[in-house]
Homo-oligomer: A and B are copies of this chain.
Amino acid sequence: MDISKYKSQERLLLAVDCIIFGFGGKQMKALLIKRGFQPEKGKWSLMGGFVNKNENVDAAAARILRQLTGLKDIYMEQLHCFGDTKRDSAGRVVSIAYFALINIAEYNEQLTSDHEARWFPLDKIPTLIFDHKQMVQKAKERLQQKVANHPIGFELLPVKFTLPQLQSLYEGIYESPLDKRNFTRKILSLNILKKLAEKEKESSRKGAFYYVFDRDKYGKLNHDGIKFL
């Protein structure tokens, strides 16, 4: 087979960078690390790494997330390819950005300190290397869109959560307040939550009922017209 056209092409470095979102109870946060190698060593950065030649790009993203956080089977979605020639000061590196949603409570604190990782509220993101700030911005916009039509908000909460918690989550993502009554009515009308008998008693005297997301029920619906907000 004549593949000479391929042979004469220039190869380049391909990286992935991950915007890792967590929910801090009131606001959305992103997990950042102090970069461990040159250039820009010691500066705040997204988690990233290079794509190996015999590795799917999606797999590379999952691997990097696992290496740096210890977490696997995490919700991840490809965001965008950042491909400007000058984006990385050390040479031509095209980066595929992914965003991940994790339950901040399950995240192992030990790993945080290992890699000098820290959670930053989205409105207090420090200066980041390269085009990482743009990546975070784009991820935030994408999350806002996506969460309106897809049940991915639950990835950010524990399996059991209360309606006030869920509302705070949406308020955090949209950075705007929601009406409690309208919110509960709407979310319950979707018929995808199961109410538990148990109550969460930490955050109020009265206690709030726990709910769980019922994936089975959701799976049986038409996902086309479903609107969470």
B-chain residues with CB within 8 Å of residue A1 when the two chains form the complex? 38-39, 90
Residues A91 and B57 in contact, CB atoms below 8 Å apart: no
Chain B residue at minimal CB-CB distance from A149: B145
Q: Which 3 A-B pairs have the closest CB atoms?
A: A57-B83, A11-B11, A10-B53
Chain B residue at minimal CB-CB distance from A53: B10
Interface presence of A201 (CB below 8 A): no
User: A26-34, A65-73, A92-100, A162-170: which lies at the B interface?
Assistant: A92-100
A-side interface mostly: loop
Residues A6 and B83 in contact, CB atoms below 8 Å apart: no
B-chain residues with CB within 8 Å of residue A203 when the two chains form the complex? none
A4 to B90, CA, bound (A): 10
- The minimal Cβ–Cβ distance linking A42 to chain B, given in whole angstroms, is 13
Residues A96 and B81 in contact, CB atoms below 8 Å apart: yes
Q: Write out, one digit per residue, whether chain A residues 31-46 have a CB within 8 A of any chain B CB (1) or not (0).
A: 0000001110000000
Residues B3 and A39 in contact, CB atoms below 8 Å apart: yes
Residues A12 and B51 in contact, CB atoms below 8 Å apart: yes
> Number of contacting residues on A, CB 8 A?
37
B-chain residues with CB within 8 Å of residue A83 when the two chains form the complex? 51, 56-58, 60, 96
Interface presence of A2 (CB below 8 A): yes
- Give 20 CB contacts A-B under 8 Å: A1-B90, A2-B37, A2-B38, A3-B38, A4-B38, A5-B38, A6-B91, A11-B13, A12-B14, A12-B51, A14-B94, A53-B92, A56-B83, A57-B81, A58-B83, A58-B84, A60-B83, A78-B80, A81-B81, A81-B96
- The minimal Cβ–Cβ distance linking A50 to chain B, given in whole angstroms, is 4
- The minimal Cβ–Cβ distance linking A138 to chain B, given in whole angstroms, is 11
A83 to B39, CA, bound (A): 26
- The minimal Cβ–Cβ distance linking A210 to chain B, given in whole angstroms, is 34
B-chain residues with CB within 8 Å of residue A10 when the two chains form the complex? 50, 52-53
B-chain residues with CB within 8 Å of residue A91 when the two chains form the complex? 3, 6
B-chain residues with CB within 8 Å of residue A9 when the two chains form the complex? 13, 50
B-chain residues with CB within 8 Å of residue A14 when the two chains form the complex? 11-12, 14, 94
